[in-house]
């Protein structure tokens, strides 16, 4: 038996089109049918049952002598409909045994359903056709085993995932592209993958589903296999072929996907270990040991961000691996380290815009220091932490350190501080003239606690001003003449945001 071979020597896939091309079998096409004629044949079976579909599977081709159709007039439409619903790829009818030719009713029914139909002459045994399919599938299985070994060998090459992509493309005669989790091409074959196929792969990635899917169009077949597990996407491999992959080719693609995933996971783990090392160095640099860290980084081809630098302290709900992917794609010299639940980034001031864009991509809440030197990096880290607290209080995405807002006095703007101050001042505020009394104290502080200056502004005698303010302090169990109590009273008014004095 002669098996069909591809032009490159690879055993071809069993299809109805290839079957029709086997001269020694002498089968003749009666109805060309639709794309099922080019679909991989899973098996070829024979039966003269009225309805053989319970014993067949999708992807099968059926051979029949037609006895059951000749005994029952008008049964051709029902028979063909059952085959179509059962996923049968085509029908072969033997002539010369029960019928000298294929019944016209069967031809018409197959044509109406676009089901491929071919005539099998009496001289061609059904077993010969089945042997042709079996021999071809055996050769395909042997090829698949060899191709899987070649893919595994490629995975061990220094180029890793790139070698696997090229070998898979060669074995399948396909266009292959490896995309990362963001849909960018990491490796491609010499045979280009059409833009429409890449778009389908990116759509699969956006759906966040772990799947292997095949889409067959008039232009070809696109198979997309996602890589990764759980919520950790490593991207996908996109395979474009003229014809759909048969079982043997699918097995090669599955092995390649497994090796690609192994290669990518190994690379990610190695990158994570390097990130942890660089994170430790970044932490040392922020603690004041920038000179020693800079010398170590130079030995690895990296360098410290040039002065002046800025430090960012950020919090993000993004998964750690996704943050690392985003950081890997960020151009420029960026040092980063984890500080508990926060992330610290150090960049040159010239990279500030890129840092802001990166923080936006992370959907992070961040505080950024004022420009600084490596010598004062610990101070810059503290400034970034203080600015982060203000960003969280105000709901801003990013806040830059300002001494007036982010020092100890800035903490008085915190909502909790405001609520606590208003609660402590509430006995006075609840009085009929409470707001006026508290405004008087605020004016006194604005006049640097000068009785005379306050008296001139509010239109009272200075003894009246002193008497009223002391009464308020005593009501709060404070001493208006003691510095610490004055500071406490001022902090209460500032945190409670007491309005200014308004002349009656």
Label the pairing between strands 212-216 and 185-188: unpaired
384 in Cβ contact with 352 (< 8 Å): no
165 against 405, higher pLDDT: 165
Contact of 348 with 410, CB cutoff 8 Å = no
Q: Output the pLDDT for position 417.
A: 74
Pick from 94, 123, 114: which is nearest to 34 by CA? 114
The residue with greater pLDDT, 353 or 130, is 130
Q: What is the pLDDT of residues 415-472, one digit of tens each?
A: 767 778 888 888 888 888 888 899 899 999 889 999 999 889 888 998 998 999 999 9
Report which of 325, 382, 332 is spatially closest to residue 352, judged by C-alpha positions.
Answer: 332
Q: Would you list the domain boundaries of the chain? A: 16-135, 156-264, 287-407, 412-496
Q: What is the pLDDT of residues 316-363, one digit of tens each?
A: 876 555 565 556 555 456 777 877 778 888 889 988 888 888 888 888
The pLDDT score that the predictor gives to residue 432 is: 87
Average pLDDT value over all residues in the chain:
85
Question: To which CATH superfamily is domain 287-407 assigned?
Answer: Reverse transcriptase/Diguanylate cyclase domain (3.30.70.270)
What angle in degrees, to the nearest 10, is found between the helix axes of 352-361 and 320-328?
150
> For residue 414, what pLDDT is reported?
65
Would you identify the CATH topology of the domain 156-264?
Answer: Beta-Lactamase (3.30.450)
Per-residue model confidence (pLDDT) at position 43? 93
Tokens of residue 459, six digits: 């239109």
Out of 159-163, 211-215, 325-329, 461-465, pick the least confident: 325-329
pLDDT for res 133: 93
Dihedrals phi, psi of 192, to nearest 5 degrees: -70, 145
> Which of the four pLDDT bands, split at 50, 70 and 90, describes residue 259?
confident
Residue range 16-135, CATH number: 3.40.1390.20
Tokens of 194: 């059409």
Report the SS3 class of residue 313.
strand
Least Cα distance to 344 among 335, 352, 353 occurs for 335
Max CA pair span of the chain: 130
- 49 or 281: which carries more pLDDT confidence? 49
**Which has the minimum average pLDDT: 1-10, 37-46, 302-311?**
1-10
With a cut of 80, say whether residue 147 has pLDDT above it. Answer: yes
């Amino acid at each position: 038996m002669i098996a069909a071979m591809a032009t490159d020597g690879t055993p071809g896939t069993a299809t109805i089109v290839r079957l029709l091309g086997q001269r020694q079998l002498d089968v003749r096409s009666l109805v060309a049918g639709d794309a099922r004629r080019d679909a991989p044949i899973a098996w070829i079976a024979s039966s003269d049952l009225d309805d053989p579909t319970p014993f067949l599977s999708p992807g099968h081709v059926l051979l029949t002598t037609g006895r059951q159709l000749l005994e029952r007039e008008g049964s051709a439409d029902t028979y063909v409909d059952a085959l179509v619903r059962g996923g049968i790829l085509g029908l072969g009818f033997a002539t010369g045994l029960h019928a000298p030719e294929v019944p016209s009713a069967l031809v018409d029914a197959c044509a109406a359903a676009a089901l491929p139909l071919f005539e099998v002459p009496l001289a061609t045994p059904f077993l010969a056709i089945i042997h042709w399919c079996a021999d071809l599938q055996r050769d395909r299985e042997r090829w698949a085993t060899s191709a899987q070994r070649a893919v595994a060998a490629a995975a061990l090459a220094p180029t890793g995932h790139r070698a696997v992509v090229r070998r898979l493309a060669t074995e399948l005669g396909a266009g292959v592209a490896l995309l990362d989790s963001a849909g960018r091409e990491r490796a491609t074959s010499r045979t280009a993958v059409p833009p429409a196929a890449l778009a389908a792969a990116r759509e699969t990635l956006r759906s966040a589903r772990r799947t292997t899917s095949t889409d067959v169009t008039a232009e070809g077949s696109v198979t997309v296999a996602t890589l990764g597990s759980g919520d950790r996407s490593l991207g996908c491999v996109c395979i474009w072929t003229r014809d759909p992959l048969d079982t043997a080719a699918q097995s090669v693609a599955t092995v390649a996907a497994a090796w690609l995933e192994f290669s990518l996971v190994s690379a990610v783990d190695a990158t994570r270990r390097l990130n942890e090392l660089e994170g430790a160095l970044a932490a040392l640099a922020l603690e004041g040991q920038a000179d020693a860290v800079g010398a170590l980084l130079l030995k690895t081809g990296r360098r410290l961000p040039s002065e002046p630098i800025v430090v960012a302290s950020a919090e993000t709900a993004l998964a750690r691996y996704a943050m690392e992917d985003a950081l890997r794609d960020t151009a420029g010299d960026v040092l980063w380290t984890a500080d508990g639940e926060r992330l610290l980034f150090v960049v040159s001031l010239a990279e500030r815009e890129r840092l802001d864009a990166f923080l936006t991509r992370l959907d992070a809440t961040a505080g950024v220091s004022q420009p600084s030197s490596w010598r004062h990096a610990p101070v810059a880290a503290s400034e970034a932490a203080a600015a982060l607290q203000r960003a969280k209080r105000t709901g801003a995405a990013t806040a830059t350190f300002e001494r007036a807002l982010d020092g100890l006095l800035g903490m008085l703007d915190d909502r909790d501080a405001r609520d606590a101050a208003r609660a402590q001042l509430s006995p006075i505020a609840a009085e009929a003239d409470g707001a006026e009394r508290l405004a008087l104290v605020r004016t006194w502080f604005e006049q640097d606690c000068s009785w005379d200056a306050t008296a001139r502004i509010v239109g009272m005698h200075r003894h009246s001003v002193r008497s009223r303010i002391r009464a308020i302090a005593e009501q709060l169990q404070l001493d208006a003449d003691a510095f610490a109590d004055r500071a406490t009273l001022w902090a209460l008014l500032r945190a409670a945001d007491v309005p200014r004095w308004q002349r009656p």
